[in-house]
Chain A
Amino acid sequence: MGLAKRIIPCLDVDAGRVVKGVNFVDIRDAGDPVEIAQRYNQEGADEITFLDITATHEGRDTTVNTVEKIASEVFIPLTVGGGIRTTDDIRLMLTAGADKVSINSAAIHNPEFVREAAERFGSQCIVVAIDAKRVDDVDGQPRYEIFTHGGRRPTGIDAVGWAKHMTELGAGEILLTSMDRDGTRDGFELGVTRAITDSVSIPVIASGGVGNLQHLVDGITQGGADAVLAASIFHFAEYSIGEAKRFMAEQGIEVRL
């Protein structure tokens, strides 16, 4: 027996409420983040990811408050992302009780920030989030590019190369979201997942597009992911984390039951 594949429910939080957008636009209220985190904890989630999707200055105190409440009741790893731009932001979240922070656009603006953060706080708490979109070459070869601003703004950066570069700078984990799939419930974009998991030596979390339990299995068996992240299938109690784990175990995937 080896390392269990992880299921990570994700809370997208706006102004203190869990929301879930389709392609980050159509936002739907799913409830109180502390209550939802407690439910996932009881159901056997392996970690929880908390993404502050507004990340305004005014919202920051609310976020810190919510993270503190979750961390004092939920004894599994907690990752916090959204608006992490400085080492002070990281310190604030770790002090509030986060175990890891997820860095997204700040890494694109200044890749050295990832190195600085890893050196200061340790690679184990630095997750680099990559939002990738498929932009095929003229000859039809699949290529994946990083997009910012909820998938609206291209950066010209190749997602696979970027994942390797972030690993070299000291990232401890990659959170890979397919912007083509996020919110669609069509399943993970397995091409980019496989391309990145095969290219880096650190764990990769697949995200974006989960609509059923088979999608979670595919992310691991076909995408090669070390962990799978999903939001809406769990928020509205369509499936419990326990059901997801039992399904995965039946398909031969090692999970923590």
Chain B
Amino acid sequence: MSELVAVIDYGMGNLHSVGSALEHVGAERVVVSADPAVIREADRVVFPGVGAMRDCMAEIRRLGFDALMTELIEDRPVLAICVGMQALLERSEENGGVDCLGLMAGDVRFFGDDLTDSAGRRLKVPHMGWSQVRQQMDHPLWAGIEQDARFYFVHSYCVAAKDRDAVAATCDYGREFDAVLAHDRLFAVQFHPEKSHATGLQLLTNFVNWIPSC
């Protein structure tokens, strides 16, 4: 039986792109599903997300994906994207404060209204566009991706992880934030690999081929 990649569907956002990008990089079978039974059958799982955190967490809990995620990261590769990454942390400042899954230590903070770059110019929020990603550890998912390569970001809140050993990459937008976290079988990215042209497709290729050593 060929490998199955499941994209978890909890009603938040454009999953078409994630699915077609995975197919484009050679994933044999891709299913977009909200059914825990289908997701459990997958060899690898993508946990995406867009929109506001309160709505995301409400849907994650309603569908029982909080327990499911805890289970999935124990025994198979999981790629979390954007709000999917943020949901892994303990808490987000969005919507007046939302408790998240707590699978990674740390929190999610607002960029701020008075964000400026090193030259003192005001920066817009959301952070929208192509920024450089500074790799902070060796990882199989960085194969073929240059140091400081640009990826496409869209977010107003950013991750600050407590476990600095889990920070696989950082990014600078008015302040330095954690752009990628990695721990065992879990790889979590703030940017959108499915929207990051050839570099993003390389990362998805690496994910589809990844055999975690732990």
Looking at the assembled complex, report how far the CB atom of A22 sits from the nearest CB atom of chain B, in whole angstroms.
30
Are B196 and A75 in touch, CB under 8 angstroms? yes
CB distance from A215 to the nearest CB of B (A): 20
Task: Flag if B14 contacts A97 (CB, 8 Å).
Answer: yes
Distance from B72 Cβ to chain A, minimum over Cβ atoms (Å): 25
**Chain A residues within an 8 Å CB radius of B125:** 201-202
Q: Which of B128, B132, B192 contacts A1 (CB 8 A)?
A: B132
Residue-wise interface mask of B (157-184) relative to A, using a CB-CB cutoff of 8 A (1 in contact, 0 not): 0000000000000001100000000000
User: Distance (Å) between the CB of B23 and the closest chain A CB?
Assistant: 8
Among A4, A5, A76, A226, the one with the most B-chain Cβ atoms within 10 Å of its Cβ is: A76
The contact of A46 among B130, B156, B201, by CB within 8 Å, is B130
Does B50 contact A71, Cβ atoms closer than 8 Å?
no
Residues of the B chain whose Cβ atoms lie less than 8 Å from the Cβ of A125: 14, 50
B residues 131-177 in Cβ contact with A at 8 Å: 131-132, 148, 150, 152, 154-156, 172-173
Shortest distance between the CB of B85 and any CB in chain A (Å): 15
Q: Are A75 and B197 in contact (CB under 8 A)?
A: yes
- Known contacts A202-B124, A226-B129; is-contact A72 B14 (Cβ 8 Å): no
**Known A1-B148, A3-B129, A75-B201: A122·B52 in contact at CB below 8 Å:** yes
Classify the secondary structure of A's interface with B: loop
From the candidates B51, B155, B173, name the one contacting A2 in the complex (CB within 8 A).
Answer: B173
Q: Is the CB of A4 within 8 A of B129?
A: yes
Are A173 and B16 touching (Cβ within 8 A)? Answer: no
Report if A97-B152 is in contact (Cβ < 8 Å); known contacts: A122-B51, A173-B128: no
Per-residue interface assignment for chain A, residues 65 to 104, with 1 indicating a CB less than 8 Å from any chain B CB and 0 otherwise: 0001001110111000000000000000011111100000
Chain B's interface size range is: 35 or more
Count of A residues near B, CB < 8 Å? 36
B194 located at the interface, meaning its Cβ lies under 8 Å from any Cβ of chain A in the complex: yes
B194 in contact with A6 (CB, 8 Å): no
Query: In the complex, what residues of B have CB within 8 A of residue A76's CB?
Result: 152, 195-197
Which listed residue (B13, B113, B152) contacts A201, Cβ 8 A?
A: B113
Chain A residues near B20: list those with CB within 8 A.
71-72, 97
Q: Which of A1-47 contact B (CB under 8 A)?
A: 1-6, 41, 44, 46
B26 contacts A by Cβ under 8 Å: no
Contact with B along A171-190 (1 / 0, CB 8 A): 01100000000000000000
List the interface of chain B (C-beta within 8 A of A). Answer: 13-14, 16-17, 20-21, 24, 50-52, 113, 117, 123-132, 148, 150, 152, 154-156, 172-173, 192, 194-197, 200-201
- Sort A-B residue pairs by CB-CB distance and give the 10 closest, nearest first: A122-B51, A4-B130, A97-B16, A72-B20, A256-B130, A124-B154, A256-B150, A203-B124, A3-B129, A77-B195
19 additional contacts (CB under 8 A) given A6-B130, A71-B16:
A1-B172, A3-B127, A3-B173, A4-B150, A41-B197, A44-B197, A46-B129, A75-B194, A75-B201, A76-B195, A77-B154, A77-B195, A95-B14, A121-B51, A123-B156, A125-B14, A125-B50, A201-B125, A226-B128
A interface residue numbers (CB < 8 A to B): 1-6, 41, 44, 46, 68, 71-73, 75-77, 94-99, 119, 121-125, 172-173, 201-203, 226-227, 256
